[in-house]
Amino acid sequence: MALPFDAPSQNRQRARMALTVLGGGALALLAGYGAGKLALDDGTHLALLVALPAALALGLLFVYARQTLLLLIILFRANLDPMLNMTKIGGGGAAIGLGGLLNGLILGLIAIELFNRHRIPVARLLLQTWLPLLVVMVGTLVITPRLVPGIKNDLALLSNAGIFLLAFVYVRDKASHDVWMRAVLLSTIGPLLYGWYQIATHQGFYDPQVGMRINSTFSHPNIFAFYLVLMVSLLFVVWRGGLLPVSTRVRRLLPPYILLLLFLLMTTKTRSAWGAMAVFFLVYSLVMERKLLPLLILAGLASLLMPDVRERMTELTTGNSGMYYQQLNSFAWRKDMWMAALHFMEPSHYLFGYGKESYAFYSRLFYPLGNGEGPPAHNVYMQVFFDGGVMGLAGFVWLLIGTGALAAGVRKTDRMEGFLLVMLVLEFALVSVSDNMLDYLVYNWYLWFVLGAGISLHLARRGGPETPGAVPRHPAIRSPVVAMPLRREEL
């Protein structure tokens, strides 16, 4: 609701805001130009010319239109990795840039929204999902050999939990749920267009072992692949009549759009993502619509006609032993590294591990690469066990089981969305066996926001004093691209 100011007061307020924006923008541009001239990397760091004004704009949105800020993050975060990486200062795990500011804004959003206006069952939700893992991972900072990277990674985990809770703040009914889900799905447009641009111009991420891989607007093809698995799962359910209502024209456009995304998924050459996608389609056809099973099997066989897909799959049949100096395939290499990590661990570290972000530090001792550095775990279960011991592993398993239980409950009010959410948790659990899923921030933000939105809608439909739908003070969401009117508590 707009503040009851008289006209002169409103004019003065607008004038102050305009002067703040113009003056702050000019100062930020000047500061950015000066910072760029300060011999950063022996050259002009032009990205800072954009970073500082952008930081100012984000700060103003945080003060005056926090809901709009989150909508913009949901709409465009999938497009921003190349630009955010250009703003980083420093090297290695200690590098910091505009992406760190976005993480901080998410944490600030949840802190302010929960403190000021909204009553949601925070304690119960956190206890059932994120809290045990967060407590262990923050606690292991005391013993970590990599304090700064450990703090950064813990802040990323906190932002994942924060965006999960923000979904409960803003999703209060079916209408708001659909607005946010449309924003999530619209985020695919930029990565889709840039991915196909990379294909047309023969650009992308070069992997010495498998050649060119499409990474689109993401920093690595694997992150892009898991993002595509998430979005294809959502779009497929929308096409089959679930999640949110769409017009007949949009429904007709969904199959070719999904096929374009699936082709991009193939070009990432990420086998674990292919497997997760196949599991989703298989389980859907068995549980929801068995008439689709023959069609989906034929589609899977047809994908093997693609040379890159066939080559990546046949690679797993060779290089499993390393005998006669044969190079190990990627999965055999991972298993060899995991066994080395288990042999390296001493019994005294089984309970609490070696500290946050310690795996990459010690892997250079038990499994050094050619450049003398250690590889990451490529397995969340191994990573949390090495970093946090049995307590860390238990915290991660608790997160999966607790979130899965909440997702399964959604089937009581929406069978299709409940199935979707359970499958998203299952996909996450499966790909965590062979990849560093907790390190993929963009994917995690979208995943946990979608999970939170679906569970929040379910709680709202059930009703009760502790559900998002029971809070009458929530502001109405009118559009994902229109700023909300100022409210007294946001000033």
- The values of phi and psi at residue 75, to 5°, are -70, -40
In tens, the pLDDT along 272-329 reads: 999 999 999 999 999 998 988 888 888 877 777 777 776 777 766 665 655 444 567 7
Q: Domain spans of the chain? A: 23-89+97-116, 122-316+329-462
**What pLDDT was estimated at residue 40?**
47
Model confidence at 93, pLDDT cuts 50, 70, 90, reads low
- The values of phi and psi at residue 89, to 5°, are -120, 135
Strand partners, 43: 40
What pTM was computed for the model? 0.84
* d(C-alpha 352, C-alpha 345), whole Å: 11
Q: How far apart are the first and last CA of the chain?
A: 13
Look up residue 295 and give its two tokens: 């069609």
**What pLDDT was estimated at residue 470?**
43
Question: Between residues 12 and 400, which one has the greater pLDDT?
Answer: 400
* d(C-alpha 74, C-alpha 66), whole Å: 13
Look up residue 65 and give its two tokens: 């239109």
DSSP state of 210: T
Cβ pair 62, 81 in contact under 8 A:
no
In a 10 Å sphere around its CB, with 0-12 CB exposed, 13-18 middle and 19+ buried, how is residue 195 labelled? buried
**What pLDDT was estimated at residue 58?**
77
Does residue 421 have a pLDDT over 70?
A: yes
* d(C-alpha 358, C-alpha 341), whole Å: 11
3-state helix, strand, coil in the chain (%, to 5): 70, 0, 25
In tens, the pLDDT along 335-360 reads: 889 999 999 999 999 999 999 999 98
**What pLDDT was estimated at residue 456?**
95
Cβ pair 440, 223 in contact under 8 A:
yes
In tens, the pLDDT along 441-469 reads: 999 999 999 999 999 999 999 874 444 54
Q: Shortest CA distance to 132 belongs to which of 390, 386, 368?
A: 390
Q: Output the CA–CA distances (angstroms, integers) from residue 465 to 119, 121, 468, 473, in the order listed.
A: 9, 10, 8, 13
* d(C-alpha 143, C-alpha 357), whole Å: 10
Question: Between residues 55 and 491, which one has the greater pLDDT?
Answer: 55
Mean per-residue pLDDT over the chain, rounded: 81
Displacement of CA 481 from its chain's centroid (Å):
21
Question: Between residues 455 and 470, which one has the greater pLDDT?
Answer: 455
Dihedral angle, C-alpha 302, 190, 113, 52, nearest 10 °: 140
* d(C-alpha 385, C-alpha 368), whole Å: 20
* d(C-alpha 129, C-alpha 135), whole Å: 12
- 283's enclosing H/E stretch is helix 271-287
In tens, the pLDDT along 235-284 reads: 999 999 989 999 999 999 999 999 999 999 999 999 999 999 999 999 99
Question: Between residues 481 and 78, which one has the greater pLDDT?
Answer: 78
Does residue 31 have a pLDDT over 50?
A: no
Q: Could you give the percent of the chain with pLDDT greater than 70?
A: 76
The radius of gyration computed from the CA coordinates of the chain, to the nearest angstrom, equals 24
**What pLDDT was estimated at residue 318?**
62
